Structure 1
Amino acid sequence: MARKAKTEGADSAENAGRLKQIALTYKMTRRTDSKIGLVVAGVGIVTFGVLLGIGFAIGHPVYLGILGFVLAVLAMAIVFGRRAERAAFGQMEGQPGAAAAVLDRIGRGWTTTPAVAMNRSQDVVHRAVGKAGIVLVAEGNPNRVKSLLAAEKKKMARIVVDVPVHDIIVGNDEGQVP
Protein backbone atom coordinates (compact mmCIF):
# COMPACT_ATOMS: atom_id res chain seq x y z
CA MET A 1 0.00 0.00 0.00
CA ALA A 2 2.84 2.38 0.82
CA ARG A 3 4.42 1.76 -2.62
CA LYS A 4 1.22 2.71 -4.40
CA ALA A 5 1.00 5.99 -2.48
CA LYS A 6 4.62 6.80 -3.35
CA THR A 7 4.13 6.19 -7.08
CA GLU A 8 0.90 8.23 -7.16
CA GLY A 9 2.72 11.12 -5.47
CA ALA A 10 5.56 10.89 -7.98
CA ASP A 11 3.11 10.89 -10.91
CA SER A 12 1.33 14.02 -9.68
CA ALA A 13 4.66 15.78 -9.09
CA GLU A 14 5.78 14.79 -12.59
CA ASN A 15 2.56 16.14 -14.12
CA ALA A 16 2.90 19.39 -12.15
CA GLY A 17 6.47 19.73 -13.43
CA ARG A 18 5.35 19.09 -16.99
CA LEU A 19 2.59 21.71 -16.76
CA LYS A 20 5.08 24.19 -15.29
CA GLN A 21 7.46 23.48 -18.17
CA ILE A 22 4.68 24.06 -20.73
CA ALA A 23 3.78 27.33 -18.99
CA LEU A 24 7.43 28.48 -19.06
CA THR A 25 7.70 27.55 -22.73
CA TYR A 26 4.55 29.51 -23.47
CA LYS A 27 5.89 32.58 -21.64
CA MET A 28 9.21 32.34 -23.48
CA THR A 29 7.46 32.01 -26.82
CA ARG A 30 5.05 34.83 -26.01
CA ARG A 31 8.01 37.24 -25.67
CA THR A 32 8.90 36.87 -29.34
CA ASP A 33 5.57 35.68 -30.80
CA SER A 34 2.76 37.74 -29.27
CA LYS A 35 0.02 35.99 -31.27
CA ILE A 36 0.86 32.46 -30.10
CA GLY A 37 -2.24 32.14 -27.92
CA LEU A 38 -4.62 33.26 -30.66
CA VAL A 39 -3.00 31.06 -33.29
CA VAL A 40 -3.01 27.92 -31.13
CA ALA A 41 -6.62 28.53 -30.01
CA GLY A 42 -7.67 29.19 -33.61
CA VAL A 43 -6.10 25.97 -34.82
CA GLY A 44 -7.88 24.01 -32.10
CA ILE A 45 -11.27 25.60 -32.73
CA VAL A 46 -11.06 25.22 -36.51
CA THR A 47 -9.96 21.57 -36.28
CA PHE A 48 -12.71 20.70 -33.80
CA GLY A 49 -15.32 22.67 -35.76
CA VAL A 50 -14.49 21.04 -39.09
CA LEU A 51 -14.68 17.52 -37.69
CA LEU A 52 -17.85 18.30 -35.74
CA GLY A 53 -19.41 19.76 -38.90
CA ILE A 54 -18.50 16.62 -40.85
CA GLY A 55 -20.02 14.58 -38.00
CA PHE A 56 -23.33 16.44 -38.28
CA ALA A 57 -23.25 16.06 -42.07
CA ILE A 58 -22.83 12.27 -41.96
CA GLY A 59 -25.04 11.73 -38.91
CA HIS A 60 -22.37 10.87 -36.30
CA PRO A 61 -21.66 14.11 -34.41
CA VAL A 62 -20.69 12.38 -31.15
CA TYR A 63 -18.04 10.14 -32.71
CA LEU A 64 -16.52 12.82 -34.85
CA GLY A 65 -16.84 15.32 -32.00
CA ILE A 66 -14.65 13.11 -29.83
CA LEU A 67 -12.24 12.53 -32.72
CA GLY A 68 -12.28 16.26 -33.43
CA PHE A 69 -11.38 17.06 -29.84
CA VAL A 70 -8.45 14.63 -29.86
CA LEU A 71 -7.18 15.86 -33.23
CA ALA A 72 -7.63 19.49 -32.16
CA VAL A 73 -5.43 18.91 -29.11
CA LEU A 74 -2.86 17.18 -31.32
CA ALA A 75 -2.91 20.01 -33.89
CA MET A 76 -2.58 22.60 -31.13
CA ALA A 77 0.42 20.75 -29.67
CA ILE A 78 2.12 20.54 -33.06
CA VAL A 79 1.58 24.22 -33.87
CA PHE A 80 2.66 25.28 -30.38
CA GLY A 81 5.80 23.13 -30.57
CA ARG A 82 6.84 24.48 -33.96
CA ARG A 83 6.30 28.11 -32.99
CA ALA A 84 8.09 27.60 -29.66
CA GLU A 85 11.05 26.00 -31.44
CA ARG A 86 11.20 28.88 -33.92
CA ALA A 87 11.10 31.39 -31.04
CA ALA A 88 13.85 29.55 -29.16
CA PHE A 89 16.12 29.46 -32.21
CA GLY A 90 15.36 33.14 -32.83
CA GLN A 91 16.46 34.00 -29.30
CA MET A 92 19.63 31.89 -29.64
CA GLU A 93 20.71 33.56 -32.88
CA GLY A 94 23.85 35.58 -32.38
CA GLN A 95 24.62 34.01 -29.00
CA PRO A 96 27.85 32.04 -28.47
CA GLY A 97 27.14 28.31 -28.70
CA ALA A 98 24.03 28.66 -30.85
CA ALA A 99 25.54 26.52 -33.60
CA ALA A 100 26.21 23.72 -31.10
CA ALA A 101 22.57 23.81 -29.97
CA VAL A 102 21.41 23.51 -33.58
CA LEU A 103 23.88 20.68 -34.26
CA ASP A 104 22.61 18.76 -31.23
CA ARG A 105 19.13 18.82 -32.74
CA ILE A 106 20.25 17.06 -35.94
CA GLY A 107 20.49 13.51 -34.55
CA ARG A 108 19.86 10.74 -37.16
CA GLY A 109 23.30 9.22 -37.41
CA TRP A 110 25.31 12.34 -36.59
CA THR A 111 27.52 12.55 -33.54
CA THR A 112 28.30 16.09 -32.47
CA THR A 113 31.12 17.29 -30.27
CA PRO A 114 30.75 20.93 -29.23
CA ALA A 115 33.75 23.23 -28.82
CA VAL A 116 36.57 21.06 -30.12
CA ALA A 117 38.66 24.20 -30.70
CA MET A 118 38.41 27.64 -29.10
CA ASN A 119 40.46 30.80 -28.79
CA ARG A 120 40.56 33.68 -26.30
CA SER A 121 38.02 35.68 -28.27
CA GLN A 122 35.52 32.84 -27.80
CA ASP A 123 35.51 31.83 -31.44
CA VAL A 124 34.50 28.17 -31.44
CA VAL A 125 34.70 25.16 -33.76
CA HIS A 126 32.23 22.28 -33.33
CA ARG A 127 32.57 18.85 -34.95
CA ALA A 128 29.82 16.65 -36.39
CA VAL A 129 30.63 13.15 -37.64
CA GLY A 130 28.28 11.17 -39.86
CA LYS A 131 28.03 9.16 -43.07
CA ALA A 132 28.89 12.20 -45.17
CA GLY A 133 32.18 12.61 -43.34
CA ILE A 134 33.34 15.15 -40.80
CA VAL A 135 31.75 18.58 -40.71
CA LEU A 136 33.50 21.36 -38.82
CA VAL A 137 31.15 24.21 -37.91
CA ALA A 138 32.76 27.44 -36.78
CA GLU A 139 31.15 30.45 -35.17
CA GLY A 140 32.81 33.76 -34.51
CA ASN A 141 34.84 36.30 -36.44
CA PRO A 142 35.48 34.79 -39.92
CA ASN A 143 39.10 35.99 -40.02
CA ARG A 144 40.01 34.44 -36.67
CA VAL A 145 37.96 31.28 -37.24
CA LYS A 146 39.81 30.33 -40.44
CA SER A 147 43.00 29.57 -38.50
CA LEU A 148 41.04 27.44 -36.00
CA LEU A 149 39.41 25.55 -38.88
CA ALA A 150 42.75 24.98 -40.60
CA ALA A 151 44.31 23.61 -37.39
CA GLU A 152 41.34 21.30 -36.78
CA LYS A 153 41.38 20.09 -40.40
CA LYS A 154 45.06 19.27 -40.03
CA LYS A 155 44.30 17.22 -36.91
CA MET A 156 41.50 15.38 -38.69
CA ALA A 157 43.72 14.67 -41.70
CA ARG A 158 46.26 12.96 -39.43
CA ILE A 159 43.65 10.77 -37.74
CA VAL A 160 41.36 9.86 -40.65
CA VAL A 161 42.93 9.89 -44.07
CA ASP A 162 40.19 8.98 -46.56
CA VAL A 163 37.25 10.72 -44.84
CA PRO A 164 36.08 14.01 -46.35
CA VAL A 165 36.26 17.02 -44.03
CA HIS A 166 33.83 19.87 -44.73
CA ASP A 167 33.90 23.25 -43.02
CA ILE A 168 31.06 25.70 -42.45
CA ILE A 169 31.26 29.19 -40.96
CA VAL A 170 28.09 30.35 -39.22
CA GLY A 171 27.06 33.97 -39.68
CA ASN A 172 25.07 36.40 -41.77
CA ASP A 173 27.81 37.71 -44.04
CA GLU A 174 28.82 36.65 -47.57
CA GLY A 175 29.97 33.02 -47.73
CA GLN A 176 28.53 32.15 -44.32
CA VAL A 177 25.58 29.98 -43.35
CA PRO A 178 22.90 31.65 -41.21
Structure 2
Amino acid sequence: MDLADGGDILDLIKKDGAIPEPRAKPLYKGVSEAIKYIHTKGFAHRDIKSENILLNKDRTVAKIGDFGFSRTCFDNTTGQRVLSKTYCGSAAYAAPEILKVEPYNPMISDVWSMGVVLYVLVNNRLPFVAVNDNLKDLLKHQLEKNINFDRKSLTPECKELIQKLLEPNVKQRYTMVQVLEHRWFK
Protein backbone atom coordinates (compact mmCIF):
# COMPACT_ATOMS: atom_id res chain seq x y z
CA MET A 1 0.00 0.00 0.00
CA ASP A 2 1.27 3.49 -0.83
CA LEU A 3 2.05 5.88 1.99
CA ALA A 4 -0.11 9.02 1.89
CA ASP A 5 2.08 11.19 4.07
CA GLY A 6 0.69 14.44 2.64
CA GLY A 7 -2.67 14.08 4.41
CA ASP A 8 -5.89 14.47 2.48
CA ILE A 9 -7.68 17.11 0.41
CA LEU A 10 -9.47 18.46 3.49
CA ASP A 11 -6.12 18.96 5.25
CA LEU A 12 -4.81 20.74 2.16
CA ILE A 13 -7.65 23.26 1.91
CA LYS A 14 -7.66 23.85 5.67
CA LYS A 15 -4.00 24.83 5.37
CA ASP A 16 -3.96 26.60 2.00
CA GLY A 17 -7.59 27.67 1.45
CA ALA A 18 -9.19 27.30 -1.97
CA ILE A 19 -6.76 25.71 -4.41
CA PRO A 20 -6.05 27.64 -7.64
CA GLU A 21 -7.21 25.79 -10.75
CA PRO A 22 -3.70 25.12 -12.17
CA ARG A 23 -2.84 23.27 -8.94
CA ALA A 24 -6.28 21.68 -8.50
CA LYS A 25 -6.51 20.29 -12.04
CA PRO A 26 -3.79 17.58 -11.86
CA LEU A 27 -4.94 16.49 -8.39
CA TYR A 28 -8.54 16.22 -9.53
CA LYS A 29 -7.61 14.54 -12.82
CA GLY A 30 -5.68 11.79 -11.02
CA VAL A 31 -8.65 10.98 -8.80
CA SER A 32 -11.04 11.17 -11.77
CA GLU A 33 -8.93 8.65 -13.65
CA ALA A 34 -8.96 6.34 -10.62
CA ILE A 35 -12.76 6.53 -10.30
CA LYS A 36 -13.17 6.01 -14.04
CA TYR A 37 -10.96 2.92 -13.75
CA ILE A 38 -12.96 1.32 -10.94
CA HIS A 39 -16.17 2.13 -12.82
CA THR A 40 -14.85 0.34 -15.93
CA LYS A 41 -14.23 -2.68 -13.69
CA GLY A 42 -17.88 -2.62 -12.59
CA PHE A 43 -17.40 -1.18 -9.11
CA ALA A 44 -18.52 2.01 -7.38
CA HIS A 45 -16.77 3.66 -4.44
CA ARG A 46 -19.88 5.07 -2.69
CA ASP A 47 -17.96 7.20 -0.16
CA ILE A 48 -16.09 9.78 -2.20
CA LYS A 49 -15.30 12.83 -0.10
CA SER A 50 -12.38 15.18 0.49
CA GLU A 51 -11.19 13.17 3.49
CA ASN A 52 -10.88 10.03 1.31
CA ILE A 53 -8.63 11.65 -1.26
CA LEU A 54 -5.11 11.16 -0.02
CA LEU A 55 -2.00 13.09 -1.01
CA ASN A 56 1.68 12.26 -1.37
CA LYS A 57 4.30 14.05 0.76
CA ASP A 58 4.71 16.90 -1.76
CA ARG A 59 0.92 17.20 -2.16
CA THR A 60 1.23 16.86 -5.93
CA VAL A 61 -0.39 13.44 -6.40
CA ALA A 62 -3.86 12.49 -5.16
CA LYS A 63 -5.18 8.97 -4.70
CA ILE A 64 -8.54 7.65 -3.60
CA GLY A 65 -8.76 5.68 -0.37
CA ASP A 66 -11.29 4.03 1.96
CA PHE A 67 -13.10 1.45 -0.14
CA GLY A 68 -15.18 0.22 2.81
CA PHE A 69 -18.52 1.03 1.10
CA SER A 70 -17.47 0.02 -2.42
CA ARG A 71 -19.48 -2.63 -4.23
CA THR A 72 -20.01 -4.25 -7.56
CA CYS A 73 -22.65 -2.72 -9.79
CA PHE A 74 -23.49 -5.88 -11.74
CA ASP A 75 -25.05 -9.21 -10.82
CA ASN A 76 -22.32 -11.87 -11.04
CA THR A 77 -24.61 -14.48 -12.59
CA THR A 78 -26.64 -12.42 -15.06
CA GLY A 79 -24.36 -9.47 -15.74
CA GLN A 80 -27.33 -7.15 -15.25
CA ARG A 81 -26.81 -3.75 -13.62
CA VAL A 82 -27.74 -3.77 -9.94
CA LEU A 83 -29.00 -0.61 -8.27
CA SER A 84 -27.99 0.27 -4.72
CA LYS A 85 -30.58 0.75 -2.04
CA THR A 86 -28.23 1.45 0.85
CA TYR A 87 -27.69 4.96 2.18
CA CYS A 88 -23.96 5.26 2.68
CA GLY A 89 -21.34 7.93 2.59
CA SER A 90 -21.47 11.46 3.95
CA ALA A 91 -24.65 13.50 3.54
CA ALA A 92 -22.81 16.59 2.26
CA TYR A 93 -21.37 14.50 -0.60
CA ALA A 94 -24.46 12.34 -1.23
CA ALA A 95 -26.38 12.71 -4.49
CA PRO A 96 -30.07 13.70 -4.47
CA GLU A 97 -31.20 10.19 -5.44
CA ILE A 98 -29.55 8.84 -2.29
CA LEU A 99 -31.16 11.48 -0.09
CA LYS A 100 -34.53 10.63 -1.68
CA VAL A 101 -33.97 7.03 -0.51
CA GLU A 102 -34.55 5.67 -4.01
CA PRO A 103 -32.69 2.80 -5.67
CA TYR A 104 -29.75 4.42 -7.44
CA ASN A 105 -26.91 3.74 -9.84
CA PRO A 106 -23.89 4.06 -7.53
CA MET A 107 -21.55 4.96 -10.40
CA ILE A 108 -23.64 8.01 -11.28
CA SER A 109 -23.84 8.89 -7.58
CA ASP A 110 -20.03 8.71 -7.41
CA VAL A 111 -19.97 11.37 -10.14
CA TRP A 112 -22.08 13.70 -7.97
CA SER A 113 -19.65 13.20 -5.09
CA MET A 114 -16.76 13.99 -7.42
CA GLY A 115 -18.56 17.25 -8.22
CA VAL A 116 -18.71 18.13 -4.53
CA VAL A 117 -15.00 17.33 -4.21
CA LEU A 118 -14.10 19.63 -7.12
CA TYR A 119 -16.31 22.40 -5.74
CA VAL A 120 -14.71 22.09 -2.28
CA LEU A 121 -11.22 21.99 -3.79
CA VAL A 122 -11.59 25.28 -5.69
CA ASN A 123 -14.03 27.12 -3.35
CA ASN A 124 -13.00 25.91 0.13
CA ARG A 125 -16.59 25.23 1.15
CA LEU A 126 -19.43 22.83 0.42
CA PRO A 127 -21.77 23.67 -2.47
CA PHE A 128 -24.96 22.82 -0.55
CA VAL A 129 -25.49 23.25 3.17
CA ALA A 130 -28.44 22.08 5.24
CA VAL A 131 -29.68 24.15 8.14
CA ASN A 132 -29.32 22.11 11.35
CA ASP A 133 -28.25 19.06 9.30
CA ASN A 134 -31.78 18.73 7.90
CA LEU A 135 -31.50 16.29 4.96
CA LYS A 136 -34.76 17.53 3.40
CA ASP A 137 -33.30 21.03 3.40
CA LEU A 138 -30.08 19.73 1.81
CA LEU A 139 -32.08 17.88 -0.86
CA LYS A 140 -34.11 21.02 -1.60
CA HIS A 141 -30.91 23.03 -2.19
CA GLN A 142 -29.50 20.29 -4.44
CA LEU A 143 -32.64 20.08 -6.57
CA GLU A 144 -32.79 23.87 -6.96
CA LYS A 145 -29.33 23.62 -8.54
CA ASN A 146 -28.39 27.02 -7.22
CA ILE A 147 -24.63 26.72 -7.16
CA ASN A 148 -22.82 29.83 -5.93
CA PHE A 149 -19.23 30.32 -6.97
CA ASP A 150 -17.52 32.50 -4.37
CA ARG A 151 -14.34 32.88 -6.34
CA LYS A 152 -14.86 35.13 -9.33
CA SER A 153 -11.51 33.96 -10.69
CA LEU A 154 -12.83 30.49 -11.56
CA THR A 155 -12.80 29.86 -15.29
CA PRO A 156 -16.08 29.30 -17.14
CA GLU A 157 -14.81 25.78 -17.97
CA CYS A 158 -14.38 24.88 -14.30
CA LYS A 159 -17.82 26.25 -13.41
CA GLU A 160 -19.40 24.36 -16.30
CA LEU A 161 -17.76 21.08 -15.25
CA ILE A 162 -18.97 21.50 -11.68
CA GLN A 163 -22.51 22.16 -12.93
CA LYS A 164 -22.39 19.01 -15.11
CA LEU A 165 -21.24 16.96 -12.11
CA LEU A 166 -23.80 18.46 -9.71
CA GLU A 167 -26.71 17.84 -12.08
CA PRO A 168 -29.68 16.54 -10.05
CA ASN A 169 -31.12 14.73 -13.09
CA VAL A 170 -29.21 11.42 -13.25
CA LYS A 171 -29.92 11.10 -16.98
CA GLN A 172 -28.17 14.42 -17.65
CA ARG A 173 -25.32 14.05 -15.15
CA TYR A 174 -21.92 13.35 -16.66
CA THR A 175 -20.17 10.00 -16.49
CA MET A 176 -16.50 9.81 -15.50
CA VAL A 177 -15.61 9.34 -19.18
CA GLN A 178 -17.34 12.64 -19.99
CA VAL A 179 -15.63 14.32 -17.04
CA LEU A 180 -12.19 13.43 -18.33
CA GLU A 181 -13.10 14.56 -21.86
CA HIS A 182 -14.28 17.96 -20.60
CA ARG A 183 -12.56 21.05 -22.00
CA TRP A 184 -11.40 22.08 -18.50
CA PHE A 185 -8.68 19.43 -18.80
CA LYS A 186 -7.53 20.62 -22.22
TM-score between both structures, scaled by the size of structure 1: 0.25
Query: Which structure has more helix as a fraction of its residues?
Result: 1
Greater RCO, CA 8 A, separation 6+: 2
Structure whose residues are more often strand by fraction:
1
